[in-house]
Amino acid sequence: MTTCSQPRFLITTADERSWRSDRSVLFLGEWCHLYEKRATWEQLDSKIIPYHWDDREQLYRDYLYVQELSECLLRELSDALNTFHGVRHSLRYWRILTGPWLGYFTQILFDRWTMIQRAARNYNITDTVVLDFPLEQVIPNDMHDFVGKFLNDPWNHHIYGRILSDWTSIRCERVPINTPSDMQRYSATLPLGRRLKRIGARVLSALSGALSRSSDAFFISTYLPLSLDFRLQLSFGQVPKLWRSPPSPVVFPNQKIRQQFSLAKAGTSGFEQCVRHLIAEQIPTLYLEGYQKLQATVDSLHWPKQPKLIFTSNNYNADEIFKAWAGAQIENGHPLVIGQHGGTLGASLWNFIEEHEQNIADRCLTWGWSDGETKRYPTCALKLQGTSLGLWNPCGGILLVTMVMPRYSYWMYSGMVAGQTISYLNDQFRFAASLPDDLKQKLLVRLYPSDWGWSQAERWKNCQPGIKLASTRSSFRSQMHQSRLVVATYNSTTFLETLGLNIPTIIFWNPKHWELRLSAQPYFDRIKKVGIFHESPESAAAKAAEVWNDVAKWWNQQDVQEARIFFCDHFARMPTNPLQVISTALTTLPNTTTNSTKI
């Protein structure tokens, strides 16, 4: 990168309280540019720093480095937490409880660190503003709270500020921010409907506790349809139960306690020094100040004390109550089974969540693939079982299913990152522009439910006026069933659902932003050959126009259906006997290291 000598003021986020409009400015990244505020930033004398992970090969190398470093950090964090709390939990216990946060945080911090160092090294930065937020606004309570924080400007501004203040020589003007704590949302009054749902879930969970035996298999958020979930529980000879975790305790950060906790390591410098310091600063309160409250909540649960097995597809990531309970159960020899939650797993070239699942589970139930891994057990598309096949409308329109990524990078997998969302959105506009006029009239665009400041609807109205945007009140399933053709535009669950349910589908995405692993390539090549998968919006639009007048004729061609079935057998399997398939996966678990009793 060429060094820029013109003096500039550095802007790190879209929080305009830290901006200056009376001088030349340098934007750290595309995340600073809110589309709805473009009238403000377009008028500035500004430059924007090229994003380091636009080099996708570098992104993959960085992922491998961060994963290796995270393993070292996890061992250090486990030892530190055991010492701090006076316990002797295993590495696997702490991986289950803290692993998702530590993985996310290390990957996120590496991105923030690299962009700040790139700015300091290559630009003549005069100064910047660092907003000082109250501790409770920038230190998360738990994993769920952390996810809410790292998606937004204040937390990212704080992290950039910490790096700037302690690991660069850039002059920082500190501005105190005295705003109400966002932690207050935990105690805020909820709408009546949500309160009733919570009460109902607690009642059902309490009833489940009353009907539970100590050795019952434990099923929670399995991703299965409720009827199949209950039939599966009955096959274990137990009364079906609907478990729900209670809310996490809320604990505010205590600076005195945090000063006693350290992960510093002699001889480290640069990012590895930074990450150790900020782990100690940023670790969620439930792992530090609130750990005793977390344990008390776990001890009060009426969940099985000696479960045959634990099966979830969702709760292993952000449910602290479940994770703490499951970690303790696993130390006593009770196996953990994780079901595949959806897309990208088994297909993406790199995927942190997939690696984390494999590291904590005794068995991972996939939707059909295994890649030769012994822990990976091919079953079926869990979410789709019991759903009728082939329900679509030959007289319907085109449903374009779109998405956006958060403006800031988060956990790492082979998909578009941060500002690459703009390139993705432009591909969607190119697809619409490439359709014949009569098909444009039939196009319905499903926007991603989380906007994250991208202003999806406004961009569509400005770039492709007249295109219809789908109502957010209608579910994807209902829109899918009403469509003649579904167009999927990113590596996700969307096309696994449509192909598994035999709904006419066209897929397209930029292969440079959604890299596939070698083992997945033959399956995508097969559906590419018959016109399902495309690597450009123009090719996808041309195929839609070609088959439009008789979609059924194209979709039911022998080679198309054979390619679909070949693909689905690997990624979205739909067996005739899903209960038997899943039951076999759960009753043939390998012995655990601490309990030789077979299930």
Q: What's the average model confidence in pLDDT over 137-156?
A: 96
Residue type, 72: C
418 and 361 inside one domain: no
User: 130 or 598, which is more confident?
Assistant: 130
In a domain, 221, yes or no: yes
- Under 8 Å between Cβ of 476 and 457: no
**3 state SS of 129:** strand
On whether residue 522 sits in a domain, the answer given is yes
Same domain, 378 and 414: no
Instruction: Check residue 135 and give its pLDDT.
Output: 87
Mapped onto helix, strand or coil, the DSSP state of residue 300 is: coil
Cβ within 8 Å of residue 308, ≥6 positions away: 215, 216, 217, 236, 334, 599
- Give the domain CATH number at 535: 3.40.50.2000
Asked whether residue 557 falls in the same domain as residue 489, the answer is yes
pLDDT at 23: 95
Residue 491 near residue 514, CB atoms below 8 Å:
yes
- Distance of alpha carbon 343 from alpha carbon 491, whole angstroms: 7
Asked whether residue 260 falls in the same domain as residue 240, the answer is no
Question: Using the 8-state DSSP alphabet, how is residue 591 labeled?
Answer: P
Same domain as 235, residue 311: yes
Q: Are residues 361 and 402 in the same domain?
A: no
Closest CA to 417 of 59, 88, 98: 59
The string of DSSP letters for 452-516 reads: TT--HHHHHHHHSTT-EE--TTS-HHHHHHTEEEEEE-SSSHHHHHHHHTT--EEEE--TTTSPB
Q: What is the pLDDT of residue 184?
A: 39
**Is residue 15 in some structural domain?**
no
Tokens of 30: 């595309």
How far apart are the C-alpha atoms of 279 and 236, rounded to whole Å? 42
Once rounded to an integer, what is the mean pLDDT over residues 96-104? 98
Instruction: Look up the domain containing 157 and give its range.
Output: 52-183+251-287
Give the percent of the chain with pLDDT over 90: 89
In a domain, 34, yes or no: no
Report whether 363 contacts 337 (CB < 8 A).
Answer: yes
Number of domains in the chain: 3
- Model pLDDT, residue 180: 57
Residue 423: per-residue pLDDT: 98
227 pLDDT above the threshold of 60: yes
Same-domain check for residues 354 and 266: no
Give the sign of the dihedral formed by CA 404, CA 409, CA 415, CA 421: positive
pLDDT in tens, 525-561: 999 999 999 999 999 999 999 999 999 999 999 999 9
* pLDDT tens, position by position, 343-374: 899 999 999 999 999 999 999 999 999 999 99
- Is 83 a domain residue? yes
Q: Is residue 122 part of a domain?
A: yes
Return d(Cα 72, Cα 276) in angstroms, integer.
Answer: 11
Residues 429, 359 share a domain: no
- Tokens encoding 525: 């090549």
Give residue 211's pLDDT: 72
Same domain flag for 419 and 481: yes
476 & 338 share domain? no
597 assigned to some structural domain: no
Quick one: pLDDT at residue 474?
87
Quick one: 96 and 135 in the same domain?
yes
Confidence of residue 591 (pLDDT cuts 50, 70, 90): confident
pLDDT tens digits for range 17-53? 999 999 999 999 999 999 999 999 999 999 999 999 9
The model's pLDDT over 190-218, given as tens digits with 9 standing for 90+, comes to: 455 545 655 565 566 566 666 779 999 99
Sign of the CA dihedral with 296 first, then 301, 306, and 308 last? negative
311 in Cβ contact with 587 (< 8 Å):
no
At 473 the pLDDT is: 83
pLDDT of residue 247: 96
Q: Which amino acid is at 552?
A: A
Q: Are residues 258 and 244 in the same domain?
A: no
* Least confident among 195-209, 446-460, 472-486: 195-209
As a whole number, the mean pLDDT across the chain is 93
Higher pLDDT, 195 or 97: 97
In a domain, 188, yes or no: no
